[in-house]
Amino acid sequence: MTFIDLFAGAGGLSEGLKEAGFHCLFANEIMPTYARTYQNNHPGTIVTTADIRDLDADQVRRNLGLERGELDLVAGGPPCQGFSINAPVRRKDDSRNHLFREYLRFVEAFSPRFILIENVPGLVSFEHGETLRDISTALAGLGYGSDVRILGAAYYGVPQMRWRTIIIGIRGSELPKEAFPEPVVWAPIKPNFTTTFNGRQLVLSPTEKLDTHFTTVKEAIGDLPALKNGEKGDTVKEYAFSPYCSYQERARIASTGVYNHEAPRLSNINLKRLRFIRPGGNWTDIPHELLPKGMSIARKGDHTKRYGRVEPDGLASTILTKCDPHWGAYFHYDQDRSFTVREAARIQSFPDHFIFSGNMAEQFAQVGNAVPPLLAKAVGGCIYRLLSIT
């Protein structure tokens, strides 16, 4: 099964789809460092580093030797906020240009059997749902029956509180219900966003408390070598232990060692604060005289993830583009430091053979912007099965 990946980032979506059985023919990403990471980890894919608005979609298809309708899947995470089929045409250099139109341009040029779009949960409520309705209408105009769900990554084995909006479309018919993956594990997550659209519940939750338990933070990163604050060490490190759970075994497939595992350097004041924070605790554990400016007047029930030390047997905060303790629970559970890029990548479910390019800030951004591969694999598996029988 073949696909192309637009707005590809470092390749989290592609990595998951590859694990589901797909092969990516072509990917486009505007950020050079992201594209370099993608190319290094997907050497069999043609990767272009360009503004998608400068690409001729029909020419890309011809270069791949494909006729319209031959491609199995167009996948990607186009910015959808603000898209409207009734919006006026804007200049090419207008920063407000709706990049989702470029995704549709490739769908029209390739006419794939399926389309896959991922976005933030807020897409559902954006502009009171009008953006999502316009997307559905636009896809229908190209001959696709589509539907949308909000998936909790933790329900598919990803050890963090991350949610994604997933839109799937099929060419020429109504989308089957089984296009979306059912949760495979139970996890203690609750949505804090709008979960209904046109009167329908979009969140796929376990129908009952499944026996299979969620992946914990310790299961995700507990076999990685210990580091001190600011410690870099060797570029490639040895594992601290043999894998002691299936998550670690999966992470190590085809791995030659631990890359991207260097500890960011925390300031002295953050180190002082950290020593008061218990696993599962947060800024409320910090003595008042050491609190960050502004936090001293916050209510105890506010900002519950800020300056958090993760609970080893719990889930991590959503991995952001910066694992900055000011914005989430990014302190290690028993080492006095914040997460490394590799630990963030493990929590995102990237395998260890997936190596990130660029400086540390760029690497964190690539990890935080990515679709968790395990979530992408679950979605891709459903599409793969439907492609196999249609």
pLDDT digits (tens, 9 = 90+) for 326-352: 888 999 999 999 999 999 999 999 999
Element (DSSP H or E) covering residue 170? strand 163-171
pLDDT value at 87 more than 60: no
Q: For residue 211, which amino acid is it? A: D
Active site residues: 80
pLDDT of residue 166: 97
pLDDT of residue 94: 44
Q: Higher pLDDT residue, 38 or 327?
A: 38
| Interval 221-276: pLDDT, tens | 999 999 999 999 999 999 999 999 999 999 999 999 999 999 999 999 999 999 99
pLDDT of residue 92: 43
Q: Mean of the pLDDT values across residues 11-38?
A: 98
pLDDT of residue 130: 87
pLDDT of residue 379: 98
Confidence band for 125, pLDDT divided at 50, 70 and 90: confident
- The contacts of residue 206 (CB under 8 Å, 6+ apart) are 155, 183, 185, 186
According to DSSP, the β-strands at 163-171 and 114-119 are antiparallel
> Taking the domains of the chain in order of start, what are their residue ranges?
2-209+373-389
Domain at 2-209+373-389: CATH code: 3.40.50.150
CB 181 within 8 A of CB 382: yes
* Phi, psi (deg, nearest 5) at residue 386: -65, -40
